[in-house]
Amino acid sequence: MTVWTCATCAIEHPDTPAPPDICEICTDERQYVPATGQRWTTRDELAAEGHRIVVTELEPGLHAVEAVRSVGIGQRGLLLQTEAGNLLWEPPGFLDEVGVASVAALGGVAAVASSHPHLTGSSIQWSQAFGGATVWVAEADARWIRRPDPAIALWSDEQQVLPGVRLIGCGGHFPGSAVAHWAAGAEGKGVLLTGDTVTIGADRASVAVMRSYPNYIPMPGRVVRRIRDTLLPLEFDRLYSLFHCIPDGAHGIVDRSLLRSARWAEDDPAVTMDT
């Protein structure tokens, strides 16, 4: 049997003789099925096309784990190292022997987690490559699990996955959307890993939250304020989102950006259009 991967979102599905008719992740209003229709691929097919995993250091204790060429949504996986084990955040939708060996050389994987269902990638395959590492899934998003496995553990609200590393439930993009807080990151100033629970703007000086990024569905102001209220008590100076990084001053940027977004969504009369 074959582990099927959706070519659009790169999320793994159960190993079955034939692929599912549809990818439910992509038929949801927050994602999309291309005009060319649903297509499935496999790990072997991706490898034959030249995809490979490359691991590069971003800062001490944090490495990017990326599929080159890009697969699916193309998120940058992040390997966060601690003395008690490593967290693989937003696992790519592909893995190969070289990539697994590179990650093993950095201490392997003790836990796998994602910000939300769009970025779960090949969580179970990465888990199996490292002896059944725990795959943490927000209980509020359990219905979106595409490949059930004994390694999956459900969590809600807040979960310490390793010493000094916590998952924080924010909601928003999905009911279980989350961030990972790494207290020791950024030379002890704190790092926030957000996927696109909170995404970095093109100006690298702002962040945003949306119900759907590809389909431009906005977020209600009350939800934006709830996300802001959840994040502001956390200590962090640096933020890594789906593709980019705010190297310093991220706490203030999150504060100002989300307040601005909430006020626009609420049609706050204090916010005026440029003339």
Give bridge partners of residue 162 from the DSSP assignment. Answer: 165
114 has pLDDT over 60: yes
Q: Which pair of tokens denotes residue 165? A: 């590393």
175-199, pLDDT tens digit by residue? 999 999 999 999 999 999 999 999 9
What pLDDT is stored for residue 270 in this prediction? Answer: 76
The model's pTM is 0.96
How far is the CA of 234 from the CAs of 71, 143, 145, 228, 252, in angstroms?
32, 29, 28, 10, 12
In this model, does residue 275 exceed pLDDT 60? no
Q: What is the DSSP string of 89-133?
A: ES--S---HHHHHHHHHTT--SEEE-SSGGG-TTHHHHHHHTTS-
For position 98, which CATH number holds? 3.60.15.10
- Residue numbers of the domain that contains 102: 2-265
Supply the pLDDT for residue 1: 60
> Looking at residue 274, what is its pLDDT?
61
As for how many domains the chain has, the answer is 1
Residue 273 lies in a domain: no
The CA radius of gyration of the chain, in Å to the nearest whole number, is 18
Tell me if 271 is assigned to some domain.
Answer: no
Mean pLDDT value across the chain: 96
Opening angle at CA 73, ends 69 and 75, nearest 5 = 75
Cβ–Cβ < 8 Å for 116, 108: no
Does residue 122 lie in a domain region?
A: yes
How many angstroms separate the CA atoms of 244 and 238, rounded? 11
Strand pairing partners for 2? 16
- The total of other beta-carbon atoms located within 10 Å of residue 186's CB is 22
pLDDT for the residue 273: 65
Tell whether 274 is covered by a domain: no
- Decide if 94 is inside a domain: yes
Q: Which residue has the tokens 């980019």?
A: 244
Over residues 140-169, mean pLDDT: 98
In a domain, 63, yes or no: yes
Q: Encoding tokens for residue 275?
A: 């003339």
Q: Choose among 192, 173, 174: nearest CA to 183.
A: 192
- What are the pLDDT digits (tens) for 51-85? 999 999 999 999 999 999 999 999 999 999 999 99
Is 249 domain-assigned? yes
In a domain, 275, yes or no: no
One-letter identity of residue 9: C
